[in-house]
Every structure is written in C-alpha cells, then in structure tokens.
Amino acid sequence: MPRFRPVFTPAGFAVLAVSIVIFIRSMLARNAYEIILSSSALFFLLILGIVGGWKSRKLAAMQTGWKLPFPMTANTNEQSLISGLEKHIPLFFRLHFVVRGRFFPSGSNADLNPERKFPRSGCPVFAQASVPRGETSAKLPFDFPMSGLFKGEGFCRIRDIFGFFSFSCGEPQHRTAKVRSAPCFGKDFFINAQSGAEDRRNKTTADEERYYMREYTPGDRFRDINWKSSEKIDALITRISPDNQEKVSRIEVYLRNYGPSSKPSLEALWMLDRAKARLSWFLRSLLETQSSFVFTVRAAGGIWEIEDSETLDAFLEDLAGLSFSAPQNETNVFSAAKTSELYIFSTACDIGLNGFILACNPRPVSLFLVQPAEKKKESEQETLRKLNFSAHGIVPFPRWFTEKKARRLGANAARVEMIYTETKL
C-alpha cells in the first residue's frame, strides 16, 4: 500500500495558514488592503495547486529509469543516472527525482525480505535531484561513507519553483544495492605458495607437434621456454600445450567476521569494513601479479573459490553484504594435514581469534588484524567521520555518538599486519 505524501510543503502549508488567518481577520476588520493581499495569495496558491495536480495526474503512469552504478563503491562520489524524463513540465514547475530508503552499514541487521518494501532497521536515507527544463535525463549524487547494503525506492515529484507544492507522479522504482568498501591500498605481500598440483604427462614426438608458442609471461615454467626460437627474435618464447595443466597454487584465506551480531557499534562496523577492504586488495593484487593462484576464501557466511577476475567480482559483491556473526567454538576449519600458510583477516571484535590461531599450530599463519587506533599510529590510521553520514543524506543512529571506544586485541602469528581505524565526529 503506497504511503500518503501531502501535496503541501512545510513552507506552502505555512503560507496557506497565514493567508487564511489574514483573510479572516481582514474581513472582520474590513481592511481592503489586507483583503486584496490575502485573497491574491490564496488565489495564487489555488492556481498553482490546480496546475500541479492536473499535470501530476497526466504523469501518473510515467516510467522512469533509475540506473545505479555497478559496482557501487563507497566514498567515490558516484552518481546515478535518471532517464525517461521526456515530458513537458508547466511553467514555474520542475520535476524532481527523490530517493528514500534504508542503509545498513557493513550489512548490519539487513532486512532484505522482498515482500517488505520499507525495512524497519537501518539508517534512513534521503537524496534528491532537480531535472533542468528541457533535459531528458539527470544525474543524482548518491554515495555512501562505507560498505553495506541499501534498500529503498526512487520516485518523481512535480514541485513549483516557489517551494509551496510537491505532487507525486510516475511509477516508483525499487532498488537493492550492495556497496563495496572504499579502496584500501596496503603493502605488497609476498606469497610463497607451497601447495598446488601439476599435470605431468609423458609427451611423444607427435604430442610435441601440438605445442604452440607465445611470449613468456611471469609465472611460466622456465623449462617450457623455447631457447632456440627466443634467440632468433630476441624475446623469450614459451611452449604451451593445449591439453597441458599448468601448476596451480592454492591459497587459503579466512575472513573471521565474528563479533557483535546485535546492534554493533559504528567503530566495530568500521573495523569490519576495513578488514573487507584489505582482503579485497590482497586478492586483487595477487591475481593481477600471478594468474595461477586459486583462492579458497572462507567466512561465517560461506565458502568461495576464486580463480579469475569474474569469480573475484562475484565474491566482492557477496563480501559487501557480509556482517558480523555471533562467535562460535571452532577448531581449524581447514584440513589439519595441510602445511601451507593460512591467511586470516579479522578485527579486534573477534574474541576467539587467539584460540583459533593456537589450533592451527604448527601451520604458519599470516594475520591481518584491524585494531582501534593508537596515538602513536595517528598517521597510519583510517578515519571515519560520523558527520559524513549526514553529508551523504544518511541519518546516523543517535547511539553512535555515545558509544564507548573499543578495546584492542593482542594476537600472535608468524606474520602480523596491523590496520588501525578510528571514528570521529
């Protein structure tokens, strides 16, 4: 059932009320000047209301297009494209596109029930854009300060340039979008992959003829280089067999998104956001430098196999919607027989982290831990300002302004990289 939206704006309602009061008082006092002034204002409001109401009825079935950017990334000043606005608008009126909905930072307590158009939890979101006269499309600034999920609707309204009336028109557009974390450019991380599989086959002379040549790329086996051909053209040429399986190195990654699953603090959500961002950078940078890597990523929300850019993009979309899960009692979730290095991404909210690392022994562990900022690390910390939510048209929760600072977590691993975060007003 559509929500009722009044046609009078607060300013229009105030002008109407004042005009009526002045008109009644002037009639009682028989003040001709006030009668003319108040009746003119009421007549002007009446004309605007009739024209706006008539045009909104004609545009009731208008279909507009609302295209969100994909992928949608936080803090990138992205804009949405609004199309299908090829309509004549009366003089003194403008067409506006309005967006209302809810934003769930880092996927917290997200209500994605398709039958519920207006979720009850999450931060309220409001954004709008005015369509210039004669234009058939418009750009709507629509950005978020951190990763999470957005669910809401976009609709058109006809408003007069004086700000007195606002009439709804057109069919509403409902959207659900996942917002990825803002980029986090960490230090280059050296991977010495020990695990993997290689298809070793005995090739006959006939098989050798099926080889084809291509230019050498980093990661190719040196024994496959055709040195004779390389000397002739002064470039390294590699022999590749169409049915050959090259060596594949499997990297195991664990995102421990454990923490407060009910009403998490903004600082906790920001730490989880930065853990997601560091994981995204880790996977993308390694895939770009070595295409033979295959990643097995485990989190509280599932398991993903990442072997190319397509599977990586699909995982990053799922990653944007992951929130905290309640802590669990667990041992090593991966095979205990494996001796290859395990890469863990976690936050200071993960109270079971040390126990899990101990259970991994003697397996080497590289830990990326997001911690609350230290004073001596101010130059290295990543800061989220609470007022940025209001700047993006998002209403922050009042409890975020009174929350206590989170505690740091100590952890031991073979290699540890600390990421420091802070939230400010």
State pLDDT tens for residues 114-162: 455 555 678 999 998 888 887 888 888 888 999 999 999 999 999 999 9
| Per-residue pLDDT tens over the stretch 225-282 | 777 777 777 777 777 654 444 445 788 999 999 988 788 889 999 999 999 999 999 9
pLDDT at 360: 84
Mean pLDDT across the stretch 23-34? 90
Highest mean pLDDT out of 32-36, 135-139, 243-247, 338-342: 32-36
pLDDT at 201: 39
Q: What percent of the chain has pLDDT over 90?
A: 30
Given CATH 2.30.30, say whether it is the number of domain 65-180: no
pLDDT at 191: 66
pLDDT at 113: 53
Mean pLDDT across the stretch 37-63? 91
Confidence grade of residue 357 (pLDDT, cut at 50, 70, 90): confident
| Per-residue pLDDT tens over the stretch 291-312 | 778 899 999 878 999 988 889 9
| Per-residue pLDDT tens over the stretch 93-108 | 999 999 999 999 987 7
Q: Which residues pair with 215 in a beta bridge?
A: 237
Mean pLDDT across the stretch 49-62? 90
Q: What percent of the chain has pLDDT over 70?
A: 80
pLDDT at 109: 67
Classify domain 249-424 by CATH number: 3.40.50
pLDDT at 277: 92
* pTM tops 0.85: no
pLDDT at 144: 92
pLDDT at 210: 42
Mean pLDDT across the stretch 12-25? 93
pLDDT at 190: 63
| Nearest partner of 220 among 247, 192, 182, judged by Cα | 247
Residue 378 has pLDDT above 90, yes or no: no
pLDDT at 403: 83
